[in-house]
Amino acid sequence: MTFLTVDNVTKRFGGLVALNAIGFSVAQGEIVGIIGPNGAGKTTLFGVISGFITPSEGEVSYDGHSILGISPDRLVWRGLMRSFQIVQSFADMTALDVVTTAALTRRPMREAIDYAAAALLRVGLGGKELKMPLTLSLQDKKLLELAKCIATDPRCILLDEVMAGLTMSETAAPIAVIQELNRQGVTIVMVEHVMPVIMRLATRIVVINFGEKIAEGTPEEILKDQRVIDAYFGDHIDA
């Protein structure tokens, strides 16, 4: 049973084709990784799925319905939540305020504050509730993105490079949170550059290059795929 389907999506920015007839589907409860070299179109793809970018052609459906033209905030209501690669922070709000706003999606004010505090605790940001997001370390900012996701009670989350810029030991906390969310039935689609992380977490991987899907399969299959090695890993395998 497919939960999220991207069907033949093309996005052109003027003459530039950012996405070219991309299609794949995600089943409920899966963790699907999306990889590809820089500029491959991963973030654009997330923009399309989460309602921020209207595709030039194609169809995106979620939970059995087309979601094209539905605004991002409505999608959050329906359980489709995304994080941003470039951490989006709010200048004059504490970490707790930001996560509380996310929690207000489904909860009244008083409950939302407690729920937000619990979400911060869960991702390992306990004690940093009253910090300004801008003053947090990169790792903590990424954890805050995760806390925002959790607080909206999502059914499907799109994680855009949550691990980028973190050391291997720093990835432990977000990995644990993602695995726990997944065990609770949350479907996860993640764009990631950190290969060991995605190889470990994802049940299936979609590889994109120059806006086109060049491979799809289990992590093992992807590692052996010559097209992927050529397009993406190249030097990494030799090194």
Partner 1 sequence: MKQEFYDTLSSPILWGVLLLAALLPFALSSYYLHIVTLALVYVALASSWNIVGGMAGQVSLAHSLFIGIGAMLSSALLLKLGINMWLGLVISAVISGVLGAMIAWIDFRFQLGHLSFVLITLAFAEMGAIVVEGWEFLGGASGMLLPKDTGDFLAFQFGGGSGSFWVMLTLAAVCVLVNVAILNAPLGFYLRTIRDNEKAAQAIGVNVLRYKITAMVISAVLASVVGTAYVRYLTFADPYLLISPVITIEIVLFATVGGLGRAYGPALGALLLVPLGEVLRGKLGSALPGLHYFIYGVVVIAVILATPRGLLPLFERQWERWRRS
Q: Is 186 in the site for partner 1 (CB under 8 A)?
A: no
Would you state the structure tokens that stand for residue 219, as one six-digit string? 């992590």
Q: Is 68 in the site for partner 1 (CB under 8 A)?
A: no
Cβ 185 vs Cβ 29: under 8 Å: yes
Would you state the structure tokens that stand for residue 160, as one six-digit string? 């855009």
Distance CA 102, CA 76 (A): 9
Distance CA 168, CA 194 (A): 9
- Which residues touch 225 (CB under 8 Å, ≥6 apart)? 207, 215, 217
Q: Give the position of tokens 């003053």.
A: 135
Q: Is 91 in the site for partner 1 (CB under 8 A)?
A: yes
Q: Which of 7, 59, 63, 97 binds partner 1 (CB under 8 A)?
A: 97
Binding mask 133-162 for partner 1 (x = CB under 8 A): ---------------x--xx----------
CB of 223 to partner 1, least distance (A): 33
CB of 182 to partner 1, least distance (A): 21
Residue ranges binding partner 1 (CB under 8 A): 50, 52, 71-74, 76-77, 81-82, 84, 88-93, 97-98, 100-102, 104-105, 109-110, 112-113, 148, 151-152
